[in-house]
Amino acid sequence: MIRPRIKDVPNLLSALRLLAAPFAAWLILNNHDTAALLVFVGAGLSDGLDGFIARHWHVTSDFGAWLDPAADKLLMILCLSALFAVGATPLWLLVLVVGVASAIAAGWLLIKWLGLPIATRTLLAGKASTMVQILYVLGVLLLLAFDLDAPRLAETAAWVCGLFTLFAAAAYAGLFLRGVFAGKPMTS
């Protein structure tokens, strides 16, 4: 039997979350709303647990620093896509979340490729946006799982999620532009 070392556990949990993303989306698409909710909550708990283990035992890695947010974004994008496909979330929100995530990833690649002097780290606005997106998907899954109809609540939640996503986009764009035009490392 293979026993993972504690330093491998955070990456293992992120990898499992990466695998959970298409499974959660499949569950949503096939009207297994309660199961999708449970998988989504499990993925969220694994995200918190891998972060706790990595910080508590100081077992962070460059690979983990890439894998963790990639798993989170894949889970978010696939779940939002599935929720759109079943008519539970608006197209504009899906396009906004995917567009901003793509732009941030493209900006990060451009920074690396051109060797621009810009610190590539998660901003508070990005963390807040991710948290609101998670809460949005969780809320929509709760409505579906319990067969509740709350169109005004769902619409308001979509707008709040969209605003937080736009704030994050503006924060990352500002960081990128300040770094490009200042020509020095940016840390804010």
**Tokens found for residue 35:** 């199961």
Residue 80: name the closest of 25, 15, 37 by CA: 25
Indicate the burial class of 29 (C-beta count within 10 angstroms; 0-12, 13-18, 19 or more). Answer: middle
Counting as low any pLDDT under 70, the low residues of the chain are 1-4, 120, 183-188
Per-residue model confidence (pLDDT) at position 186 = 46
pLDDT digits (tens, 9 = 90+) for 124-142: 999 999 999 999 999 999 9
Per-residue model confidence (pLDDT) at position 188 = 45
At 134, the amino acid letter reads I
Per-residue model confidence (pLDDT) at position 4 = 63
pTM: 0.89
CATH 1.20.120.1760 fits 6-182, yes or no: yes
pLDDT digits (tens, 9 = 90+) for 92-124: 999 999 999 999 989 888 888 887 777 767 889
Angle between helices 33-56 and 9-29 (to 10 degrees): 170
**C-alpha–C-alpha distance, residues 187 and 91, integer Å:** 34
The dihedral over CA atoms of 103, 129, 84, 143, expressed in degrees to the nearest 10, equals 170
Whether the Cβ atoms of residue 136 and residue 44 lie closer than 8 Å to each other = no
Q: Count of CB atoms within 10 A of residue 75's CB?
A: 26
Per-residue model confidence (pLDDT) at position 156 = 98
**C-alpha–C-alpha distance, residues 77 and 104, integer Å:** 14
